[in-house]
Amino acid sequence: MNLTRRPDRLSPRWLSWLAAALLLGGCAGSLVPQPPPAPIPPEVAQVALPPMRSFGAPRPLAPQRSNTEIARDFIDLSFELESGSKLDRFTRFEGPVTISLAGLNSPHADRELDRLISRLRNEARLPVSRVPDGAPAQIVVEGITRRDLERVVPEAACFVLPTRVTWDEFRRNTRRRDLAWSSLQRREAVTVFIPVDIAPQEIRDCLHEEIAQALGPLNDLYRLEDSIFNDDNLHSVLTGFDMLILRTTYDPRLQNGMSRNQVAAQLPAILTDLNPRGNSVRTRPYQPSPRNWQDSIERALAPAGSSAGRRTAANRALSVAQDQGWQDTRMGLSLFTAGRLAAPRDGDLALEAFLGAGEVYSARPATQIHAAHVGMQIAAFALASGEYQVALDIVARFAPVAQRAENAALLADLLFVQAAAQSALGQDSAAAASLSEGLAWGQFGFRTEAEMRRRAAEIAALAPTSAARRSAA
């Protein structure tokens, strides 16, 4: 790993605390084995659970990139699959699109589907509507258990298929011919499968990503900094760019069956009409993602595999990113991933990687939520090293970013850091308020109350002064 800006040497205590801090959440989950959980302290276990918080009116950022770049992205999103296979024709739904739920008995799913449909109608101008649960629809969202999903499609959190098929039918024959997107002439019916026993935020995220793919692009691109069509999973909900892509997909100048070249010929005029600002933004050079970088970063992020193998893959991805001279989201992801995997062995290197990722992500408005994920890790490190005001400053910077991006789990983590820092500084009243607010958001972001309280306790335990105060009490 060629990282050149080495920080001052850290003490062994700081290294051990940094390793513990980096066990905390993030886009890829915990990447190293965690020690047995410690008992949850009374100030976390016994605090009254406040009402769950939820997000209000969306505030997506408008696309910040040139129409030339967006047209290129549209083609790569619409004419390739995630596997790398090419599609020879453009497909979409024709006419109004209906959506129904089947077996997803959740008030969170109801609310989030209604919010999503409202956004699709208002921002992407799509003729999408909801019909009663269980009714026939062009898009059916079927609820299953997480255990069933992991047994059949262990690599997926949720997924979409290009036909109407029940879970039992799919499970009996996962190789049916009608499950190939490349065979479609037009989109007529699709099925989305989402686990019912996951966090409200995870249900919401699955609705956004899978319904968006049911309607439009079938591919994901790591180079996209401003989109959920990116396997880094750092954007939780549809962005302004995503809505522009969907609106372009259903522009009347595009038709089912058009070739790549035919669609490309129409895009300049379409994007000029839909996004006139994009014609005055400088176009950045096109830098495709080499296959060896994609393979390496995917192996590093995969939950399976040995720690040593994943570290090697992360280092290889970072080396490719540096050779390419990238300063975009792919460099940020390479650094972020390398830092998380390096933490248990080399705290100096991990901290340097996080600081580098923070610099990359902080450079553009579209990647502020990426910077917030990195900021959470650095805030936990600051908390563990007794730099309480630094931790509070980081929370003050990134909590509004997490709220705007509608990431309740990240927002809760930041608030737990704030509570721990305030407690360590003797600001008990403020700490109690921060903890309560974190628990309010955590109910949306975490799967269970026990998981949420354990996370709050883990973060509280990072602050040495707070731990000493609890022991003294």
pLDDT at 172: 92
H/E run at residue 193? strand 190-195
pLDDT at 14: 40
pLDDT at 469: 56
> Are 91 and 192 in a shared domain?
yes
pLDDT at 44: 83
> Are 168 and 309 in a shared domain?
no
pLDDT at 9: 37
Whether residue 426 is contained in a domain is answered as: yes
- pTM (global) more than 0.85: yes
How many other CB atoms sit within 10 Å of the CB of residue 368? Answer: 20
Residue among 97, 95, 159, 176 at smallest CA distance from 130:
97
> Are 72 and 27 in a shared domain?
no
CATH classification at residue 89: 3.40.390.10
User: Which of 252, 280, 308 is the last residue before a domain boundary?
Assistant: 280
pLDDT at 384: 85
Which residues does the chain have with pLDDT short of 50? Answer: 1-23, 25-36
Chain mean position to CA 398: 16
pLDDT at 345: 75
User: Which of 280, 299, 332 is the last residue before a domain boundary?
Assistant: 280
Report the C-alpha gap between 170 and 351 in whole angstroms.
Answer: 45
The number of distinct structural domains making up the chain is 2
> Are 76 and 24 in a shared domain?
no
pLDDT at 444: 97
Whether residue 34 is contained in a domain is answered as: yes
Tokens of 442: 């955590």
User: Which of 280, 301, 320 is the last residue before a domain boundary?
Assistant: 280
pLDDT at 349: 83
pLDDT at 304: 76
**What does the H/E/C string look like for 160-190?**
EECCCCCHHHHHHCCCCHHHCHHHCCCCCCE
**What does the H/E/C string look like for 238-251?**
CCHHHHHHHHHHCC
> Are 394 and 440 in a shared domain?
yes
| Parent domain of 225 | 67-280
Q: What amino acid is encoded at 450 in this protein?
A: A
> Are 390 and 330 in a shared domain?
yes
What b-and-e string marks burial along 159-195, b requiring 16 or more CB atoms within 10 Å of the CB?
bbbbbbbebeebeeeeeeeeeebeebeebebbbbbbb
